[in-house]
Structure 1
Amino acid sequence: MDSPHSLPPITLGSRDLARLEQLLESPALRRLPAAQALGAELERANVLPPGQVPDDVVTMNGSVTCVDEVSGDKHQFTLVYPQDADVVTGRVSVLAPVGSALLGLSVGQAIDWQAPGGRALRLRVVTVVPPPESADVLHR
């Protein structure tokens, strides 16, 4: 993982931030290392109002394609809340290390990350498909 000084800037919508902070307040989660790591990510985020988050930013319920610059492997998944996670359908929890690492990154940004087992990865965001609800966020 990068040192705090070399982490890329991240952007979050205020609605995602509020939902994630509520998730992290859960007594069942707040002491978990994954929740603490996500909390640290949220603290360094540039927060924007709903509807102002650029379409090339990895958001909750958005789909992302990234490439491991070390191996060349491509990965595609949708970033979801823990209760919606399903590895078979490519729905990765924001509490998974890769989920919290990619949250808020923009196309072209990369982050160093250690896979389970200690293998070093450098994941670069290639494409982002915003969640369907981002199109009608102002109509709710």
Structure 2
Amino acid sequence: MAAATKRKLKPAITMTRSDHERLWSLADSLPDSAANVAEPLLVELDRARIVADGKIASKIIRMGSSLCFTSDLGDDKHVTLVFPGEADIEANRISILTPIGAALIGLSAGQTIDWTSRDGRVHRLTVKSVTQPGDAAKAPAAGELQT
């Protein structure tokens, strides 16, 4: 398979039924003028494998997950994926309605995805680790990598 073709294939993703339903409602409730915000999320929702809430692996990114990823920009980031009202870039809380937030949902540790920023540039990130909210005692401090 050619490298260009391989880059365009998206990795398999998994979501809980409750995240899927809540995110679908969120994206669907946005006005038509916000289609550029809703579209990346709707694309991910359409391709996700849906599982019961209690049947999802802890290494899969879902709403409220904290994670560490590395990007083609050469930096490692530790962020938490949140709903728009909880977003705070200074506190590393990334909204699901951002292009990178939509790209992260459903990925698991070790997966890589290409995503398009709002300025049209394509970036690549690889998830290094995922921590769920109930695993707070095991979560790395901000800026600290979990191995």
Asked if Structure 1 and Structure 2 have the same fold, meaning a TM-score greater than 0.5 normalized by the shorter chain, the answer is yes
Q: Which runs of 5+ in 2 are unaligned?
A: 136-147
Choose between structure 1 and 2: higher helix proportion. 2
Q: Which has the higher contact order (CA 8 A, sep 6+)?
A: 1
Matched, 1:131 2:136: no
2:94 — aligned with what? 92
Secondary structure of the residue aligned to 2:107 is: coil
Secondary structure of the residue aligned to 1:57 is: coil
Give how far 1:121 is off.
2.5
Q: 2:21 aligns with which of 18, 23, 40?
A: 18
* Structure 1 stretches of 4+ moved >3 Å: 2-5, 27-31, 114-120
Q: Percent identity?
A: 36
1:29-71 C-alpha deviation (Å, 9 max, x unpaired):
7842121110111010000001111011111011010011x34
Query: 26-35 vs 122-131, which deviates more?
Result: 26-35
Number of equivalenced pairs: 131
Secondary structure of the residue aligned to 1:111 is: strand
1:112 — aligned with what? 114
- Alpha-carbon RMSD across the aligned residues, in angstroms, is 2.4
Q: Is the 8 A contact 2:99 2:118 kept in 1?
A: no
TM-score (norm: length of structure 2): 0.79
1:1-50 C-alpha deviation (Å, 9 max, x unpaired):
x8996011100000101111111221437842121110111010000001
Letter in 1 for 2:24: E
TM-score (norm: length of structure 1): 0.83
Q: Which runs of 5+ in 1 are unaligned?
A: 134-140
